[in-house]
A and B are shown apart, each in its own frame.
Chain A
C-alpha cells in the first residue's frame, strides 16, 4: 500500500465545477440508528432491471432478513424483510420516482422484535469460487448504493474475455450535501476494506484503488488506517471537483484511460463500485446478512439537526425528517439524491429505498427559484464545464426543437446528466431537463418503430396468406366445376358416384402435389445448406404449404370458411 498526503494526479477530465459543498452540516454528529416505524412499504422495483416477484402471502409472518420477493430475470434483485413483522398488503403504493407514479409494493407491519432469520456466514471467501460468491451477493439483494442501483453481482462478473486490472472503490461523493459515504468511511472502514477484498477476489482484479476527495480528510485517515499493510490496495486522495464521482470521470482520473462512448468500463479492464456497496457485500459474505438497511443523509436548511441515519428500507421519509427536527412549514421542496442530480419528491410519506442516499428538505431561500429563465445568450459557459466534452448548447437547441436526430448527432446519449451546464448557465435554462426529455422521446420513438415494423411484417404476411387462400379456393372451385357440364341430367346415383370420383381425384392430386412440394422443399433445403447460408425451414414449409391444398376443406363452401380461417390462425 502506498499513500501520501499529496493529491493523486494521473489523468484528468474536462470541465467540472466547484459548487458550494454544504457537507459540513450533516457531519457534525456521528450517525445514528433511525427509529423503527410502525409500517414499512417496500417497492418491488428498487433497482435497475426487472421488478422482483413477491414470494409471500398477505397475513404471513416474516423475520428480519427473510426473502419476501425474488429476482425476476438476470438483471434484477430480490427484496428482503428489513425487520420482523406481518405482511399486511401487496399492492400499488407511491414510490420515490420523478414520475410520482405508484408501483407494486409489499407492506410490513413491524412487531418491534427485530428478530433475525437464521443466517449463515461464508466461512472463508478466499476458498470460495467467485461464481458462488456472486450468487450469494445476488441472493442478498445487493445493488449499487451510490444512487443508480444496478445489481452488484453483474458488475462483479468480469466475463471470460477481459482481465480486470483495476477495481476502483468510489468514495468520492462529489455531490453537495450528501455525506452518507463519508460517514460510513469514517465509522466502518473495516467493513469497506473487507468488502473490497471480497470484490477483488470475485473479480480476480490485479489492484484496488479507493478514491476519496480531499474534502473528507477524516474518512481518508480512517480508510488509510484500515488499509495499512494490505497488498495491492491503494488509497487515492483527489482534489475536490464535481462530477469526479461519476464512474467514467473517476476512471479517467485514476487510470488515465477514457471509457469509450457507448462502451462499458469493463472493456478497458476497470470495474467501479461504491464504498457502501463494498460494506454491503462484506455483510452479505462475512455475516450472511442480506441488504435491509442503508445510511441516508438527512439534510437541508429546513432540518434543524441534519445528520446521517442508518435506515431500514421502507421507512417513510417523514419519520426520518421528524427525527432530525424538521420545520415542515419551511420545506419548499423535498429532494431525493443530491442537488445536482436528484429529483423532487411529491410527498413526505414516500419510503426510503435501496438507492436513497440523501434527503434534502430545502427551504425557499436555499433553492434558486426566484431566478427567471431567460433566453440563451450563446456564451458557451456550458461547453467549458461539460465533463464529457459535449456541446450543451447545440444539444439544447436541438432537444428544444425536438430535432432528435440532430441531437443524437451531437452525442446526446453520452451526456451523464451531471447538471454542470445548468449550474453555470447565466440564463438559468434547465438544460438537463431538455436532455432527459430528448433521451426519453428517442427511446419511445425507437420502441414504436420496432413495434410498427413488427406490425407491418405481420400485416403483410396476413395479406399474403389471405391471398393464397383465395387462390386455392378458386382453383378448387374451377376443378370441381370443370367435369360437370359433360352429363346433361345425371340421376342421383350417378351424381354421387361422380362426386366421389372427383373427391378421390382431387385427393390424389393433392397428395401428389404435396409429395412434389415436399421434395422441392427438401431439395431447396439441401441447396441452401450447401451454400452455407442459414436455411429458413419455415420458408420451405411455406413453399410446401402454398402448393398443398389444406386437407379436409374440399366440401366446404365459402360461407363456412370462418372456422378454417381460425384454424389457420392458430398455426
Chain B
C-alpha cells in the first residue's frame, strides 16, 4: 500500500518536473495560429477586409472576430486555404469587402506628379520612391496593387494598371471536360 503510494507520488513528481521543464523550455512566443493565418493572406495590406492590414485581420480570424471571406485580393484561393487551415467550410467572398479582380500595379504619371510625398506615406510596403518636390515613381516589383496610394494623391496622377499577360506569366487554363475542344494532345487517328 505504502510502496504503491510512494511509487505513484514519485512518478507524479518526475512527470510534473518534466512537464514543468518542457513548459519553460519549449514555450511558444506569440500565437502560432496568427502566424499561420497571416502566411495565407496575400499581404497587400490594402485594408479591404476592414482591418488595418493583413496581420490584424489574421489576429481577428484567430480570435474568431472575423470571417474568412473578407479578403478580395486573395479571393477564392485564400478562402480555400484558410478553410483548410482552420477546418471550416469555405464561404463565398463577402461582397461588402469588394470583388476579386485582376492583379494590378500602380503607375504614377510623372508629368502630373507634384512631389507631395503623400502617396509615399500611404504606401504600406515602401514601394514608392521619391522626395519632397521631386518626382515620385513606383517600384513595380514591390507594388502589391493595394490602391492605398490613390485617395491621398491631390492631383490624381496615380492609376492602377492591370498586369499584362505575356508568354512567361501565361499558364494553361483549367481544362473543359466537354466538349474537348482545344485538346492539344488530341489524338490523330489513322489516316491514309
CA–CA, A24 to B184, complex, Å?
23
Contacts of A97 in B (CB 8 A): 167, 170
Asked whether A101 lies within 8 Å of B129 as measured between CB atoms, the reply is no
The stretch that binds A, out of B21-29, B61-69, B115-123, is: B115-123
* Partner pick for B132 among A437, A456, A566, CB 8 A cutoff: A566
The stretch that binds A, out of B36-44, B92-100, B153-161, is: B36-44
CA–CA, A433 to B127, complex, Å?
38
Asked whether B125 lies within 8 Å of A369 as measured between CB atoms, the reply is no
B190 at the interface (CB under 8 A from A): yes
A434 at the interface (CB under 8 A from B): yes
**Which residues from 400 to 451 on chain A have a C-beta closer than 8 Å to any C-beta of chain B?**
402, 419, 422-423, 428-430, 432-434, 436-437, 439-441, 443-445, 448, 451
* Partner pick for B175 among A341, A434, A439, CB 8 A cutoff: A434
A85 at the interface (CB under 8 A from B): no
A101-B170, A562-B132 given; A177·B180 CB < 8 A? no
Fill in one digit per residue for A439-471: 1 if any B CB lies within 8 Å of its CB, else 0: 111011100100111111011011000000000
Asked whether B43 lies within 8 Å of A369 as measured between CB atoms, the reply is no
Contacts of B178 in A (CB 8 A): 372-373
Shortest beta-carbon distance from A387 to chain B in Å: 15
Asked whether A429 lies within 8 Å of B38 as measured between CB atoms, the reply is no
CA–CA, A156 to B153, complex, Å?
54
Contacts of A491 in B (CB 8 A): none
Residue among B38, B124, B126, B134 with most chain A CB within 10 A: B126
Fill in one digit per residue for A357-385: 1 if any B CB lies within 8 Å of its CB, else 0: 00010110111110011000000000000
Asked whether A462 lies within 8 Å of B125 as measured between CB atoms, the reply is yes
A343-B184, A443-B171 given; A459·B131 CB < 8 A? no
Asked whether B192 lies within 8 Å of A301 as measured between CB atoms, the reply is yes
A339 at the interface (CB under 8 A from B): yes
Contacts of B128 in A (CB 8 A): 569
Contacts of B149 in A (CB 8 A): none
Fill in one digit per residue for A53-76: 1 if any B CB lies within 8 Å of its CB, else 0: 000000000000000000000000
A103 at the interface (CB under 8 A from B): yes
Asked whether A365 lies within 8 Å of B180 as measured between CB atoms, the reply is no
Shortest beta-carbon distance from B177 to chain A in Å: 5
CA–CA, A46 to B157, complex, Å?
38
**Which residues from 38 to 57 on chain B have a C-beta closer than 8 Å to any C-beta of chain A?**
38, 41-45, 53-54
A262 at the interface (CB under 8 A from B): no
Fill in one digit per residue for B168-191: 1 if any A CB lies within 8 Å of its CB, else 0: 001111110111101111111111
Contacts of B170 in A (CB 8 A): 97, 99, 101
Asked whether A419 lies within 8 Å of B185 as measured between CB atoms, the reply is yes
The size of the chain A interface, using a CB distance under 8 A, is 70
Contacts of A343 in B (CB 8 A): 184
A103-B166, A367-B188, A455-B44 given; A98·B172 CB < 8 A? yes
Contacts of A15 in B (CB 8 A): none
CA–CA, A365 to B46, complex, Å?
54
Contacts of A341 in B (CB 8 A): 184-185
CA–CA, A562 to B184, complex, Å?
57
**Which residues from 237 to 289 on chain A have a C-beta closer than 8 Å to any C-beta of chain B?**
none
* Partner pick for B185 among A20, A99, A422, A451, CB 8 A cutoff: A422
A195 at the interface (CB under 8 A from B): no
Contacts of B174 in A (CB 8 A): 437
Report, as a range, how many residues of chain B touch the other chain: 35 or more
A342 at the interface (CB under 8 A from B): yes
Nearest opposing residue in chain A for B130, CB measure: A566
Asked whether A339 lies within 8 Å of B188 as measured between CB atoms, the reply is yes
Contacts of A340 in B (CB 8 A): 185
CA–CA, A437 to B177, complex, Å?
13
B142 at the interface (CB under 8 A from A): yes
Asked whether A455 lies within 8 Å of B142 as measured between CB atoms, the reply is yes
A95-B167, A103-B167, A429-B177 given; A369·B188 CB < 8 A? no
Asked whether A176 lies within 8 Å of B188 as measured between CB atoms, the reply is yes
CA–CA, A272 to B182, complex, Å?
32
A22 at the interface (CB under 8 A from B): yes
CA–CA, A369 to B179, complex, Å?
9
CA–CA, A78 to B16, complex, Å?
71
Fill in one digit per residue for A11-34: 1 if any B CB lies within 8 Å of its CB, else 0: 000000001101011000000000
Asked whether B177 lies within 8 Å of A373 as measured between CB atoms, the reply is yes
Shortest beta-carbon distance from A257 to chain B in Å: 29
CA–CA, A501 to B118, complex, Å?
35
A294 at the interface (CB under 8 A from B): no
Asked whether A22 lies within 8 Å of B192 as measured between CB atoms, the reply is yes
CA–CA, A121 to B180, complex, Å?
51
Nearest opposing residue in chain A for B81, CB measure: A445
Contacts of B180 in A (CB 8 A): 369, 373, 428, 430
Contacts of B42 in A (CB 8 A): 448, 452, 455
Nearest opposing residue in chain A for B144, CB measure: A455
**Which residues from 165 to 185 on chain A have a C-beta closer than 8 Å to any C-beta of chain B?**
176-177
CA–CA, A95 to B130, complex, Å?
39
CA–CA, A565 to B131, complex, Å?
8
Contacts of B43 in A (CB 8 A): 451-453, 455-456, 459
Contacts of B53 in A (CB 8 A): 459
Shortest beta-carbon distance from A25 to chain B in Å: 6
Asked whether B183 lies within 8 Å of A563 as measured between CB atoms, the reply is no
Asked whether A98 lies within 8 Å of B188 as measured between CB atoms, the reply is no
Asked whether A569 lies within 8 Å of B130 as measured between CB atoms, the reply is yes
CA–CA, A566 to B131, complex, Å?
5
Asked whether A570 lies within 8 Å of B129 as measured between CB atoms, the reply is yes
Nearest opposing residue in chain A for B142, CB measure: A458
Asked whether A366 lies within 8 Å of B189 as measured between CB atoms, the reply is yes
Asked whether B185 lies within 8 Å of A433 as measured between CB atoms, the reply is yes
Shortest beta-carbon distance from A422 to chain B in Å: 5
A101-B170, A430-B180, A452-B43 given; A22·B188 CB < 8 A? yes
4 interchain residue pairs of minimum CB distance: A440-B171, A433-B175, A455-B43, A563-B132
Q: Could you list 18 A-B pairs, sorted by A, with CB under 8 Å?
A: A101-B166, A101-B167, A101-B170, A365-B191, A402-B80, A422-B185, A434-B175, A436-B172, A437-B171, A443-B171, A451-B144, A455-B43, A456-B43, A459-B43, A563-B131, A569-B117, A569-B126, A570-B129
Q: Interface of B with A (CB < 8 Å)?
A: 38, 41-45, 53-54, 77, 80, 116-118, 120-121, 124-132, 134, 142, 144, 165-167, 170-175, 177-180, 182-192
Q: 8 extra interchain contacts, Cβ-Cβ under 8 A, other than A20-B189, A437-B171, A458-B127?
A: A98-B172, A99-B170, A373-B178, A437-B174, A462-B124, A462-B126, A562-B117, A565-B121
Q: Interface of A with B (CB < 8 Å)?
A: 19-20, 22, 24-25, 45, 95, 97-99, 101, 103, 176-177, 300-301, 333, 335, 339-344, 360, 362-363, 365-369, 372-373, 402, 419, 422-423, 428-430, 432-434, 436-437, 439-441, 443-445, 448, 451-456, 458-459, 461-462, 562-563, 565-567, 569-570
